[in-house]
C-alpha cells in the first residue's frame, strides 16, 4: 500500500484519557451556545491573576484559593486540548484510510466488471446476468456524468437560441 502518496501511519493509535474521566462532558445539542470561550490575551491575564489574586483576594471579597481553581481549570483545558489534537489527527488519518481503502475496493470491482464484460463479449454473454448489480453499481458515476453532459448541452442549446433571438 505504500507509495509516494500513501504511506503507513506511524503515529500513536491509542489514547488513554482516563485521567479526564471526571472532566469530559457530553452536552445536549445547542447547549454550548452562549457559553464563554477563551479570548485573545489569556496568557497575560493568567500571569496577572497569579500575581495579584493571592494578595488581593480579601480586598476583592473572593476566596483566597480562587486562583488554584483557575490553575486546575487551565491544566484540564491543556489536557483536553492535547487529546483533541491527537483525536483530530487520528480522525484525519482514518478519513484518509477510508478513502484509500474504498478506492482500492472500487479498483477490484472495476477489474471484475471488466472481466465480466470481456467474458460476455468473447465467450458467454449470460455471465452478465450473474454480475448485473455489480455492473450497475460500477457504472453509476458514468451514468451521472452522461446525464450532466446531456443537461449541460441542452442548457447550451437553449442559451444559444435565446442569444440568437435577442440578436434579431
Instruction: Convert the pLDDT of each residue in 126-150 to its tens digit.
Output: 999 999 999 999 999 888 888 888 8
Better-scored residue on pLDDT, 128 or 2: 128
Residue 164's pLDDT is what? 62
pLDDT over 70 at 2, yes or no: no
pTM of the predicted model as reported, rounded to 2 decimal places: 0.70
**Averaged pLDDT for residues 3-31:** 93
pLDDT over 80 at 160, yes or no: no
| Distance of alpha carbon 135 from alpha carbon 127, whole angstroms | 11
- 110 part of a folded domain: no
- 56 part of a folded domain: yes
pLDDT over 80 at 67, yes or no: yes
**Averaged pLDDT for residues 10-38:** 95
Are 108 and 114 within 8 A, CB to CB?
A: no
- 138 part of a folded domain: no
pLDDT over 70 at 52, yes or no: yes
Summarize pLDDT for 73-123 with one digit per residue, the tens. 999 999 999 999 999 999 999 999 999 999 999 999 999 999 999 999 999
- 61 part of a folded domain: yes
What is the tally of structural domains in the chain? Answer: 1
pLDDT over 80 at 1, yes or no: no
**Averaged pLDDT for residues 27-41:** 96
DSSP string, 34-101: T-----TTHHHHHHHHHHHHHHHHHHHTS-TTHHHHHHHHHHHHHHHHHHHHHHHHHHHHHHHHHHHH
**Averaged pLDDT for residues 38-62:** 96
Which of the four pLDDT bands, split at 50, 70 and 90, describes residue 156? confident
- 37 part of a folded domain: no
- 92 part of a folded domain: yes
pLDDT over 80 at 57, yes or no: yes
**Averaged pLDDT for residues 33-53:** 97
- 149 part of a folded domain: no
Structural domain that includes position 81: 44-104
Amino acid at each position: 500500500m505504500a507509495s509516494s502518496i500513501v504511506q503507513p501511519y506511524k503515529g500513536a493509535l491509542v489514547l488513554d484519557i482516563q485521567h479526564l474521566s471526571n472532566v469530559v462532558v457530553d452536552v445536549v445539542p445547542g447547549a454550548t451556545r452562549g457559553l464563554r470561550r477563551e479570548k485573545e490575551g489569556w496568557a497575560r491575564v493568567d500571569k496577572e491573576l497569579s500575581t495579584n489574586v493571592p494578595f488581593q483576594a480579601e480586598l476583592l471579597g473572593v476566596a483566597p484559593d480562587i486562583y488554584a481553581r483557575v490553575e486546575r481549570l487551565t491544566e484540564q483545558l491543556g489536557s483536553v486540548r492535547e487529546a483533541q489534537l491527537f483525536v483530530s489527527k487520528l480522525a484525519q488519518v482514518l478519513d484518509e484510510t477510508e478513502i484509500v481503502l474504498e478506492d482500492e475496493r472500487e479498483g477490484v470491482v472495476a477489474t471484475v466488471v471488466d472481466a465480466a464484460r470481456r467474458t460476455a463479449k468473447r465467450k458467454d454473454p449470460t455471465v452478465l446476468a450473474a454480475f448485473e448489480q455489480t455492473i450497475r453499481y460500477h457504472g453509476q458515476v458514468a451514468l451521472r456524468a452522461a446525464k450532466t453532459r446531456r443537461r449541460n448541452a441542452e442548457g447550451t442549446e437553449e442559451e444559444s437560441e435565446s442569444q440568437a433571438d435577442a440578436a434579431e
